[in-house]
Amino acid sequence: MIDIHNHVLFAVDDGSESIEESIEMLREYKRNGVEIVVFTPHLNHPMFKNDVETIKKNYDILNEECKKTGIYALLGSEVYLTPDIKDVIPVNDRFVLVEVNVSTYPMYLYDKVFDLQLEGYDIILAHVERYAWLKSDARILKKLKDMNVYFQMNVNSVKDDKFFLKNGYIDFLATDYHGKKRGTVDWEVFKTHKEMFERTVKMLGLKVPLQQ
Ligand SMILES: [Fe+2]
């Protein structure tokens, strides 16, 4: 199974603080049957300043540990959409995970999504259950779906969901794991929604068995 959204990569954002913590998290994935992990550190976030160079450097270091742990790793990013984003790290050269302000609807959302799509990317909106403006305005939700924006929900939100999953709006489930300091992951969801994670592997164009 696969996790396409997390902050396991160390020392680049508010996720794992050290390589030791990252290794511990990787072992936790392995114990719970998740063997493909796409690291998605924050990019362009107003609170976490980092750069693609450091992210790639730390990724190369952690990837060596992934091989020892039996985890197949990929690098992506969680891009905080603003009118002037500079960098994205797409997953498999194709998927860009994006987030926006949770409380206020960003007027530039459609434009920026369209800009990225014109560059050839498929867009995944992260943790859709967090956006109050999305649940309360059916027009925005429909427009994003019409634009072929994929919706990702956090696994820890599955239990209490009465809207997104139930109405078939969710394309991806993922952990958004920040380390134990922010709470544990409801690993049961990987078992109860196995087909969705298997579909994710196919959608990302990953060929199983994977070669490191
Ligand atoms: Fe995240």
Provide the residue type at 81 as one letter. Answer: L
Residue 208 lies in a domain: no
Q: How confident is the model at residue 16 (pLDDT cuts 50, 70, 90)?
A: very high
Identify the pLDDT of residue 206.
Answer: 83
The per-residue pLDDT for range 84-137, each reduced to its tens digit, is 998 999 999 999 999 999 999 999 999 999 999 999 999 999 999 999 999 889
**CA–centroid distance, residue 15 to ligand 1 (Å):** 9
**CA–centroid distance, residue 204 to ligand 1 (Å):** 18
Identify the pLDDT of residue 181.
Answer: 94
The runs of H, that is alpha helices, within the chain are 19-31, 52-69, 109-118, 132-136, 138-146, 188-192, 194-203
C-alpha R_g of the chain: 16
Domain count along the chain: 1
Residue 86 sits at φ, ψ, to 5 deg, of -105, -50
pLDDT at 49 over 90: no
Residue 54 lies in a domain: yes
CATH of the domain at 20: 3.20.20.140
pLDDT at 212 over 60: no
**CA–centroid distance, residue 199 to ligand 1 (Å):** 21
Q: How far apart (Å, rounded) are the C-alpha atoms in residues 111 and 116?
A: 9
Across 157-183, average pLDDT: 96
The percent of residues above 70 in pLDDT, for the chain, comes to: 98
pLDDT at 196 over 90: yes
Residue 190 to residues 45, 56, 162, 174: CA-CA distances in angstroms?
A: 28, 28, 19, 9
Residue 83 lies in a domain: yes
Across 52-67, average pLDDT: 97
Identify the pLDDT of residue 211.
Answer: 60
Q: How far apart (Å, rounded) are the C-alpha atoms in residues 22 and 44?
A: 22
Q: Which of 42, 38, 47 is CA-nearest to residue 12?
A: 42
**CA–centroid distance, residue 176 to ligand 1 (Å):** 5
Is the Cβ–Cβ distance between 101 and 64 less than 8 Å? no
**CA–centroid distance, residue 33 to ligand 1 (Å):** 21
Is the Cβ–Cβ distance between 8 and 41 less than 8 Å? no
Domain that holds residue 49: 2-203
Q: How far apart (Å, rounded) are the C-alpha atoms in residues 106 and 64?
A: 39
Residue 24 lies in a domain: yes
Residue 73 lies in a domain: yes
- Global pTM? 0.96
The per-residue pLDDT for range 135-169, each reduced to its tens digit, is 889 999 999 999 999 999 999 999 999 999 999 99
Mean pLDDT of the chain: 95
Residue 212 lies in a domain: no
